[in-house]
Structure 1
Amino acid sequence: MSLLECEEAFQKNNLQLLAARYNISEAEADIIQAKIWDQPNLSVELNAIDPENNKVFHIGSTGAKEFGVDQLFVLGGKRKNEVAFAKSNKEIAELQFKGLVIDLRSQLRNTFYSIIFDEKKEQNVDLQLKYITNLLNAYENQNKKGNVSLKDVVRLQSLVIGLQNDKTEITNNIIQQKQTLKLLTGSQTDIEPVISEEELDQLFNRQPLINLQELQQKALENNTNYLTFIKITESSQLNLKWQQSLNIPDLTVGARYTQRGAAFDNQVAVSFGIPLPLWKKNKGNEMKAAYQIEESKKDEERQKEELLSQVNTSYKIWDNQYKQYYTLQPHDFKNMDLVFDGIVTNFQRGNVSLIDFTDFMESYKQSVLHIYDMKKQIMLSAEQLNQLVQTKIFY
């Protein structure tokens, strides 16, 4: 699968992403709930025993019954403030979801590129291992005939063991990374990442067209984690406003019909009720909301400092790795392959000793592995910058 195909599968199938979408739906439900009015209250009072007329349930035209309806009217902008607070929580949920998408997509891309370069390392080690193993078999046969010393056989065995250990470590990494890729894409089968050499070359030649200070400013404008902390501070302020409004008493309005038992028969009356605001009934929650604002402001400041520091570190790491890699010229890599072919050919012709051959093979193996590691780290550090800045910076 190409990187684009992996990202499409990730968007459709990632279970963590699918589950996180419900957080937004839950926040929308909170908004709906905040808009709902209190239901009116109906009360009914019926006569049970009439001792004067020796009747039970005397509720007819000569009996007694009472009906009342009460409605609570919320004052002080409580409902409006609660709705505003609920809407801010939805915005937070949306930012958190967006941040999760970015973080998981970055993990996907890092895993994809890691597999690509680790498989290249594995292929190169396989080629070396195949050649050295065949050579070892030949030396073991010659040793049995007394034509070569056991010391030479052991030297080759050490080289084979080193290559096998490298291959095992690389293969184990690939297995783990492919399992991660399966989880991220929601695939039921193993995925084989595919990318052309031309596309890899284009990715290697990318450079940010803005300096470090501009990168940091872009990160402050676009990084969803930081924007979430800003929104949390705003939400805390809305919560304080809501908690303050809860100190304002609400009004209850009612209408009541009384057949008998009031000042007049068949009386219709209206009623009004409001608590006496002798003290703040929500003072504790109001204080708590005020403290939460101060806490969220400090968290916002801390997140800003961390983000600027992370961008600074990631940019310097990328820049250092990029410069280190490009101190090696393209012909240097070709020279390594030419020297490898030349050493192998001359060894086969007897022009190179076994000691020189094994020393070269060990150096060649380490150099190849380091080169692929350098390439991988360039890609991963670039992805780290992309994840932090969250806007296009490489061209």
Structure 2
Amino acid sequence: MMKRYLSLFIFASLLASASAQQQKVLKLTSQQIESIFLEQNLDLIAEKMNISIADAAISQAKLWENPSLSIDGVNLWSTSGQREGEKEVIPPLFGSFARNTQFAVELSQLIHIAGQRSKLVKMEKVSKEIAMAQFEDVLRGLKVELRKSVCEFIYLGAYRNVLGTQIKSLSQLIETYARQVAQGNLSKNELLRLQAALFEVENELNEVEAEFNGQQKNLKSLLNSEPFITLEITDGNKTIPDPEQFSLIELATIAMDSRPDVNAAQLETRYHTRSLAYEKAQRVPDLTLGASYDRRGGVWGNFIGFGISMDIPMFNRNQGNIKSAKLNIAQSNYLAQKQQNLAQQEVVEAYQNYFQTYGFYKKVDNTPLIRELDGMFDIYARNLLDKNISILEYIDFIDTYKSTKQAWLTAQKNASIQFEELQYVVGIEIK
């Protein structure tokens, strides 16, 4: 029995601990969210390592080839022909080392005479620039994902409050109507209509809560934060700039210089140009310098010699790799041009979408009725209780309230998202 109580106590403690963790609220501004994102996002950390990997490749390319040492012709034991009685034929080098032993030692060093090593270093440096551009592109993509998620998060939080206002008003009316029905002053049909309207709003709130939780998960994943916290954004209302203050032509021009994917495509051409120079250098055969020592292997008892060797470029002059490098240059030029055209098309599309969504948002935002709706809730509720309006008119009002508020919040969210999309395709923060 004691063990059972102990198990129940531990289980209750774990539940209490998990509940306490779930109730932990982290309030952040949009700027603080981005700062945490830049420090903790795992995709960014992993992608940034590619730059260090490229640095390591540059260091490796700078290294000389290792010298080669070979020892051969060693007799591990002496034969009877190497002795005449007890007389020693081959004396030791020192002490008793190498007595009656013949061997040869050769030391060689490969030398590139056409600057292959320096050309390879230049290639790897361009690879590092490509890695940096790719990191910037990943950062750009993750940042716009983060900002769009923040926009959705703010919208869902605001719309949740709209539904909460409806639920509060309907719940208060239902309490009053329930007392009136109990006293026989009202029919149950009217109470049922209000309860049906409440259930509909509560069902929609559950769906919004599920979407809100999904955005919570997405934001916390991007921030690499603890799973048992609840995020709150404290600066939900941000100014959305007017698109008319921006020049479409200037934005398209800026994109050519600032977008990392365009830069990476141009760097690919540079890389293949460096590769062509490297492959052409490979046509020139390398030299191998060598020094050798031969003990008792020839006419002289101790022979020291020097040599040089190189391939004769008769059949293989690296023709295939040179041709491949030339084709890669032509291909990368086409792809770079395609990327530039795509970037400009994306800027035009994003600007037009932003212009349209912003125009609709300002139209809705400038409607005076939007800001009067919250104050009208109590008025309609009192009029319903005073029998000045019917229950159908009241339900029609709350439906209108919800759809109008939703349209306003959606227009605001879409304008914010389209602005972030415009900044994404331009490649910089638009001021």
Tell me, yes or no, whether TM beats 0.5: yes
Preserved CA contact (<8 Å) 1:178 1:190: no
The partner residue of 1:372 within 381, 385, 409 is 409
The answer for the alignment partner of 1:23 in structure 2 is: 50
The partner residue of 1:240 within 276, 279, 299 is 276
Per the TM alignment, residue 28 of structure 1 is displaced from its structure 2 partner at its CA by 0.9
The answer for the alignment partner of 2:31 in structure 1 is: 4
Q: C-alpha separation between the residues in 2 aligned to 1:152 and 1:58?
A: 122
More moved, 279-288 vs 265-274: 279-288
Per the TM alignment, residue 169 of structure 1 is displaced from its structure 2 partner at its CA by 2.0
Q: C-alpha separation between the residues in 2 aligned to 1:57 and 1:114?
A: 94
Preserved CA contact (<8 Å) 1:343 1:357: yes
Per the TM alignment, residue 246 of structure 1 is displaced from its structure 2 partner at its CA by 2.1
The partner residue of 2:304 within 268, 285, 295 is 268
Q: C-alpha separation between the residues in 1 aligned to 2:345 and 2:191?
A: 54
The answer for the alignment partner of 1:348 in structure 2 is: 385
Secondary structure of the residue that 1:393 maps to in structure 2?
A: coil
Secondary structure of the residue that 2:291 maps to in structure 1?
A: strand
The answer for the alignment partner of 1:14 in structure 2 is: 41
RMSD: 2.5
More moved, 221-230 vs 337-346: 337-346
2:179 matches 1:152: no
Secondary structure of the residue that 1:192 maps to in structure 2?
A: strand
Preserved CA contact (<8 Å) 2:82 2:89: no
Alignment of 1:272-283 (within 5 A): 272-280=308-316, 282-283=318-319
User: Per-residue CA shift, 1:273-312, capped at 9, x if unaligned?
Assistant: 0111012353333333333333323322222222222211
Q: C-alpha separation between the residues in 2 aligned to 1:232 and 1:318?
A: 32
Per the TM alignment, residue 158 of structure 1 is displaced from its structure 2 partner at its CA by 3.4
Alignment of 1:104-119 (within 5 A): 104-119=142-157
Preserved CA contact (<8 Å) 1:120 1:372: yes
The answer for the alignment partner of 1:361 in structure 2 is: 398
Structure 2 unaligned regions, length at least 5? 1-27, 94-99
More moved, 97-106 vs 212-221: 97-106
User: Per-residue CA shift, 1:31-72, capped at 9, x if unaligned?
Assistant: 111111111112234444455433899463686443321110
With over 3 angstroms needed to count, the CA separation of the structure-2 counterparts of 1:29 and 1:340, relative to structure 1, is: same
Give the letter aligned to residue 82 of structure 2. N
The answer for the alignment partner of 2:20 in structure 1 is: none
2:96 matches 1:60: no
Per the TM alignment, residue 223 of structure 1 is displaced from its structure 2 partner at its CA by 0.8
Give the letter aligned to residue 250 of structure 1. D
Task: Give TM-score, length-normalised by structure 1.
Answer: 0.90
Q: C-alpha separation between the residues in 1 aligned to 2:196 and 2:341?
A: 50
With over 3 angstroms needed to count, the CA separation of the structure-2 counterparts of 1:283 and 1:154, relative to structure 1, is: farther
More moved, 153-162 vs 376-385: 153-162
User: Per-residue CA shift, 1:326-375, capped at 9, x if unaligned?
Assistant: 12326332233344443233223221111111111111111101111111
Secondary structure of the residue that 1:380 maps to in structure 2?
A: helix
Alignment of 1:110-149 (within 5 A): 110-140=148-178, 142-143=180-181, 146-149=184-187
Q: What count of residue pairs does the alignment treat as equivalent?
A: 391
Preserved CA contact (<8 Å) 2:30 2:233: yes
Give the letter aligned to residue 231 of structure 2. E
Preserved CA contact (<8 Å) 2:29 2:235: no
The partner residue of 2:234 within 177, 195, 200 is 195
Give the letter aligned to residue 389 of structure 2. V
Q: C-alpha separation between the residues in 2 aligned to 1:326 and 1:57?
A: 107
Per the TM alignment, residue 222 of structure 1 is displaced from its structure 2 partner at its CA by 0.3
More moved, 313-322 vs 51-60: 51-60
Preserved CA contact (<8 Å) 2:104 2:297: no
Preserved CA contact (<8 Å) 1:159 1:362: no
The answer for the alignment partner of 2:338 in structure 1 is: 302
Q: C-alpha separation between the residues in 2 aligned to 1:234 and 1:268?
A: 48
With over 3 angstroms needed to count, the CA separation of the structure-2 counterparts of 1:309 and 1:80, relative to structure 1, is: same
Secondary structure of the residue that 2:133 maps to in structure 1?
A: helix
Give the letter aligned to residue 193 of structure 1. E
2:285 matches 1:249: yes
The answer for the alignment partner of 1:286 in structure 2 is: 322
Secondary structure of the residue that 1:249 maps to in structure 2?
A: coil
The partner residue of 1:34 within 61, 65, 77 is 61
Q: C-alpha separation between the residues in 1 aligned to 2:44 and 2:359?
A: 37
Secondary structure of the residue that 2:229 maps to in structure 1?
A: coil
Per the TM alignment, residue 125 of structure 1 is displaced from its structure 2 partner at its CA by 0.6
Preserved CA contact (<8 Å) 1:47 1:57: no
The answer for the alignment partner of 1:87 in structure 2 is: 125
Preserved CA contact (<8 Å) 1:44 1:67: yes
Preserved CA contact (<8 Å) 1:3 1:193: no
Give the letter aligned to residue 279 of structure 1. F
The answer for the alignment partner of 2:208 in structure 1 is: 170
Preserved CA contact (<8 Å) 1:115 1:193: no
With over 3 angstroms needed to count, the CA separation of the structure-2 counterparts of 1:278 and 1:225, relative to structure 1, is: same
Q: C-alpha separation between the residues in 2 aligned to 1:134 and 1:282?
A: 86
Structure 1 unaligned regions, length at least 5? none
Secondary structure of the residue that 1:193 maps to in structure 2?
A: strand
More moved, 288-297 vs 230-239: 288-297
The answer for the alignment partner of 1:213 in structure 2 is: 249
Preserved CA contact (<8 Å) 1:118 1:174: yes
Preserved CA contact (<8 Å) 2:242 2:358: no
2:363 matches 1:327: yes
Give the letter aligned to residue 391 of structure 1. I
Secondary structure of the residue that 2:110 maps to in structure 1?
A: strand
The answer for the alignment partner of 2:9 in structure 1 is: none
